[in-house]
Structure 1
């Protein structure tokens, strides 16, 4: 029986840069942030922590679906079944968080969805650490785990940070949509805009400014 990665040393996981060690570090951070959210009474601070949870969970999951799960399907005999189970959990989390982002803070329905999303995130962590990742560990050697870790981290750094329920869970669909969605999400995060409708207005305004500036440059060039 493969051993859960939760209790292994970093060396057993293949070193700090191994995808197993990277995954576990982020799982620990997700748990910490979810516990912090539950412990807080202050509304604005709770919302900030929830935002951190969302950004971490979705960039993490996108990197899994783009880099890690294809490797599991290639290397593990029942990898298709294992990854399908986790992808279904990801989709449920995606749908719940999309609803959460549409509801106002303090709404009882919103709090219930936050609770359910946190339960699913924790279940997803357990399924990955106890079932899926140990199987990958059995199938590939430490240098390969470190290579996957490097690729996973590169994708995570530029991944979308919010839910997009209609995006495919598998390559190439998710990878093709990942770049524009990442730009969209990171503008939203950088400007502190919670509503997607507000982000669309800002991006439309910026696009209009850019088009006007390019037109002005073109007119100047014709005059000269």
Structure 2
């Protein structure tokens, strides 16, 4: 006999169509888009033969998307989720631990030489953690945002998250805190250094405008969080 008092599980965002996720621009649509892209790139990396230069390009792309995506979550989404639900503190703590473990593994890979025999094992471990993190977010955390916010709010949060993601650090920095305001205080200056590494010094002029955009997005996110009080 089914216990009618047991809470009904919320559907994973993996099982919903874009309209059910709040439509174009929704944070849930944006999150799933990034997750799908990460999954595709990790699969392509694993299927490419050893020694193929494409593998290194794919690895760099995975790293850049993983860290910008996670930083935006920790800056915009998880503080909001902690205000929306009583389970938010416990659930976001689990994901933050996963993010930290990924951070430390990728830092090892970046510090190791290309011929280090441990490198591929660390990459495989990082991929396994990224995949677990995606499932935890899509099955446990993000459904709570769908349940707690209307479509218009989901799109507003999506815009703030996207602005932070586009100007966030793109490499591991294990010493940076996982929560605001410490992550923003230490992480935003590092994003300029990371993007110089990624894009090259000739693109440095774009960073000033990007930094302004990030500051505005953080302010918008803080105002949005105050609205949940």
Q: Per residue, is there more helix in 1 or in 2?
A: 1
Which of 143, 151, 156 pairs up with 1:134? 143
Q: Distance in 2 between matches of 1:108 and 1:123?
A: 25
- Which runs of 5 or more structure 1 residues have no equivalent in the other structure? 193-224
Give the superposition deviation at 1:106: 4.1
1:32-68 deviation line (CA, Å, top 9, x unaligned): 0000111112432211110000000000000000000
Alignment of 1:1-224 (within 5 A): 1-41=9-49, 42-191=51-200
- Which runs of 5 or more structure 2 residues have no equivalent in the other structure? 1-8, 202-229
Cα contact 1:19–1:150 (8 A) shared by 2: yes
Cα contact 1:75–1:139 (8 A) shared by 2: yes
Alignment root-mean-square deviation, CA: 1.1
Provide TM-score, normalisation by structure 1: 0.84
1:133-183 deviation line (CA, Å, top 9, x unaligned): 011211121111111100000000100000000000000001112221010
Give the superposition deviation at 1:105: 2.3
SS at match of 2:171: coil
Larger radius of gyration: 1
Q: Distance in 2 between matches of 1:81 and 1:142?
A: 25
Provide TM-score, normalisation by structure 2: 0.82
Poorly superposed stretches of 4+, deviation over 4 Å:
none
